[in-house]
Chain A
């Protein structure tokens, strides 16, 4: 778990005057006990204690010296406890460093930060490191972890994330920010803690907030039924899709839209608060608390389509053609169409193969095997 462009290993932490002043104030105001650092103002002076040393009966000046001599402990406390960080951001920045070793003591933590500590948030690799002024963060696509920094487009302003994540690497608009199609080729460098969480909030909006609510046991999950009941206007029709005949249709929706191959959020909503879905909710780090606007928009279309009654059609296909139809559906559903090579006529979804099938099996009006959609008349188009 080390980044390629970490700071020099001999970088020493210096502690800021603000941090020392804040610790003096905190010591006088009830004391501090954080990650091994204990600091308190007692009757006979100040006490400064780490797992390695204890000094008591200090004057304020001696206490300040102790701070300067143990900069990592003071910097560590001030970073997490000294500012006005939101609880969610604080928890996230702690989580970044916890990694597999939640019990890191401060010297170990700082040694790791000198090397760079990387964790993935969706497809973003977040690397915490030490730089001038303390902790600094670097964000890039996890696939770019091995790419030398000069080869990436570097940014320092979190707001740049809005444009960066708008299109995927093929230039297609990404209407769903948590789709696993994050573009590559960029890096945010030198971010402080606030800028780090701000950039992530633009790349994956509200994921840190919801992840934190979940950790605190406060995530407000809204299930399918209540979400669809809430819809109005052109979406109010969706509630009619729930006919009290089970939730198989919602399984299909979740399999279509919410699978890890489509969205990196971990689906926590079910059919209702008593009925989980039968399909996997995914392994993502951050939760999905209700059907999103893409699911709602798609569900409206499916509600209309699923209102149709099945009919029996008779088509004549060779076994190879039947399998080709299946292969085409698979290729489209798995987003592989663009990966099928031009001349790979062994793939059912190959363009030439598909054009041949169309030439042979579809009539001038695009009907499969010339069979009308509506047997009464010509065809019916929704």
Chain B
């Protein structure tokens, strides 16, 4: 029976680059040929969540949300708009970062949908953050002598948002690769504005846990950290702030290795992906064929 991967993402009415990482990762998955079809659907673009499944011929669809955390979109909007029959967020039995997958039927198309947890909370996402640190420094062995800040939006809208940040920061810290690892936030303590206060190391890599580049990652955060007075004039990488060298990575979701997380989500849900995971990891490594893809995109509109 043929199988499809359907990546669902936010998209934007305003920012043309919001969809770029989604398309790029879909292309990477296509390249390794693990699925008969790879499709993308959006909340703010077309095909909309509402209609993406009817563009899929396969009767078996693995739906992976390209979102950072569990919450409103993964638990309410996406299942509703995909018309997943008998969806219940309890089916994921998640503590906020542990959603896996549940198999349901889409009532309008009759397809079997393996609805997966978001990319952002998968364990493989930890590797993407580390890979992002490698690509922004251009050093596949970066770690010793460096601090790493994982930056999230904060908890005001969704407590699981901070849980996902903490989860990955903890995992990276446990590996002992970087001298220091901190989780920082845009709108609560510890705030990314004061990034240099939290690190002893001279070099600090800052990786925002966002899907796409846009207002927050390309305007807010660079200005708040003091990389630049005006985002429009750009900034150096690294930029010197208070005697620290700040290596600002931009949205983690633009990292080519994100395609691996999408694949692993689907594989965990039962998709037959063969050796695709390994091939994507090779394809997207620093210096690999797809690793230089970059993308930008905000989700300033809700």
0/1 string, B199-235, CB within 8 A of A gives 1: 0000000000000000000000000000000000000
CA–CA, A302 and B261, complex, Å: 40
Across the interface, do B13 and A294 meet the contact criterion of CB distance under 8 Å? yes
Tell me, in angstroms, the Cα distance from A206 to B39 when the chains sit together.
12
What is the CB-to-nearest-CB distance from B47 to chain A, in angstroms, rounded to a whole number?
4
Within 8 A of A (CB), among B63-88: 72, 76-77, 80
A242–B47 CA distance with the chains assembled, in angstroms: 27
Min Cβ gap B85→A in Å is 14
The yes or no answer to B241 lying at the interface (CB within 8 A) is no
**B293 interface residue (CB < 8 Å to A):** no
- In the complex with contacts A210-B54, A233-B72, A234-B302, A205-B46 CB distance below 8 A: yes
Q: A175-B13, A175-B14, A232-B77 are in contact. Are A201 and B44 (CB under 8 A)?
A: no
Report yes or no: B54 in contact with A206, Cβ–Cβ below 8 A: yes
CA distance A177 to B47 in the complex (A): 9
**CB of A159 closer than 8 Å to a CB of B:** yes
Judge whether A293 is part of the interface by a CB distance below 8 angstroms.
yes
Closest to B73 in A: A233
B45 at the interface (CB under 8 A from A): yes
Q: Would you list which residues of chain A between 165 and 186 have a CB under 8 Å from chain B? A: 166-167, 173, 175-178
Taken together as a complex, chains A and B put the C-alpha atoms of A289 and B44 apart, in Å, by 16
Min CB distance A229 to B, Å, is: 12
With an 8 A cutoff between CB atoms, is B301 at the interface? yes
A/B pair count, beta carbons within 8 Å:
61
Given contacts A230-B80, A232-B76, A293-B13, contact A177 B46 (CB under 8 A): yes
Q: Given B46, B55, B77, B301, which contacts A233 in the complex, CB threshold below 8 Å? A: B77
Please tell me the size bucket of the interface on A.
Answer: 20 to 34
- Chain B residue, CB-CB nearest to A166: B16
State the CA gap A92–B3 with chains docked (Å). 23
Q: Find out whether the CB atom of B44 lies under 8 angstroms from the CB atom of A175.
A: yes
Residues of A within 8 Å of B48, CB to CB, are 206, 292-293
| Cβ contacts under 8 Å, A210 to chain B | 51, 54
Contact B54 A173, beta carbon cutoff 8 Å? no
Q: Is A297 on the interface with B (CB-CB < 8 A)?
A: yes
Residues of chain B within 8 A (CB-CB) of A176 are 46
A86 at the interface (CB under 8 A from B): yes
Q: Could you tell me which residues of chain B, from 36 to 57, have a CB within 8 Å of some CB in chain A?
A: 43-48, 50-52, 54-55, 57
Say which size band chain B's interface belongs to. Answer: 20 to 34
Question: Which chain A residues (115-156) contact chain B, with CB distance < 8 Å?
Answer: none
Asked whether, in the complex, the Cβ of A201 is within 8 Å of the Cβ of B302, the reply is no
Q: Say yes or no: is A12 at the interface (Cβ < 8 Å to chain B).
A: no
Task: Give the interface centre of B43, B57, B72, B108 by most chain A CB atoms within 10 Å.
Answer: B57
Residue B294 is within 8 A (CB to CB) of chain A in the complex? no
Q: Assess the B55–A201 pair: CB atoms within 8 A.
A: yes
**Nearest CB on A from B66, distance (A):** 16
Residues B1-60 near A (CB distance < 8 A): 12-16, 23, 27, 43-48, 50-52, 54-55, 57
Least CB distance, B116 to chain A, in whole angstroms? 21
In the complex, the answer to whether B47 meets A205 with C-beta atoms within 8 Å is yes
Contact with B along A199-235 (1 / 0, CB 8 A): 0010001100110010000001000000000101110
- A94 in contact (CB, < 8 A): no
Tell me, in angstroms, the Cα distance from A230 to B108 when the chains sit together. 16
Distance (whole angstroms) from the CB of A223 to the closest CB of chain B? 14
Which residues on the B side are within 8 Å of A230 (C-beta)?
Answer: 80
Distance in angstroms between the alpha carbons of A297 and B27 in the assembled complex: 30
The closest CB in chain B to the CB of A297 belongs to: B13
Indicate if A62 sits at the interface (CB-CB under 8 A). Answer: no
Residues on A with C-beta less than 8 A from B14 are 173, 175
Q: Is the CB of A220 within 8 A of B108?
A: yes
Q: Does A321 sit within 8 A of B, measured CB to CB?
A: no
Measured between alpha carbons, how far is A167 from B19 in the docked complex, in Å? Answer: 13
Tell me if A206 and B77 are in contact (CB < 8 A).
Answer: no
A276 on the interface (CB 8 Å rule)?
A: no
Q: Does A290 interact with chain B (Cβ within 8 Å)?
A: yes
Contact A206 B43 (CB under 8 A): no
Chain A contacts for B301, CB-based, 8 A: 297
In the assembled complex, A162 has its CB within 8 A of some CB on chain B: yes
A86 nearest in chain B by CB position: B57
Residues of A contacting B23 in the complex (Cβ-Cβ under 8 angstroms): 162
- Could you say which residues of chain B place their CB within 8 Å of the CB of A220? 108
Are B51 and A209 interface neighbours, CB within 8 A?
yes
**Pick the contact of B16 from A86, A173, A201 — CB < 8 Å?**
A173
Complex CA distance for A173 and B15, rounded to whole angstroms: 8
Show 19 A/B contacts (Cβ-Cβ < 8 Å), sorted by A: A166-B16, A173-B14, A201-B47, A201-B55, A205-B46, A205-B52, A206-B47, A206-B51, A206-B55, A209-B51, A209-B54, A220-B108, A232-B72, A233-B77, A293-B44, A293-B45, A294-B13, A297-B13, A297-B301
Besides the contacts A220-B108, A230-B80, A293-B44, what 19 more A-B pairs have beta carbons closer than 8 Å? Answer: A173-B16, A175-B13, A175-B14, A178-B46, A201-B55, A205-B52, A206-B46, A209-B51, A209-B54, A210-B54, A232-B76, A232-B80, A233-B72, A233-B76, A234-B302, A290-B50, A293-B13, A297-B13, A297-B301
Binding site for B on A (CB under 8 A): 86, 159, 162, 166-167, 173, 175-178, 201, 205-206, 209-210, 213, 220, 230, 232-234, 289-290, 292-294, 297
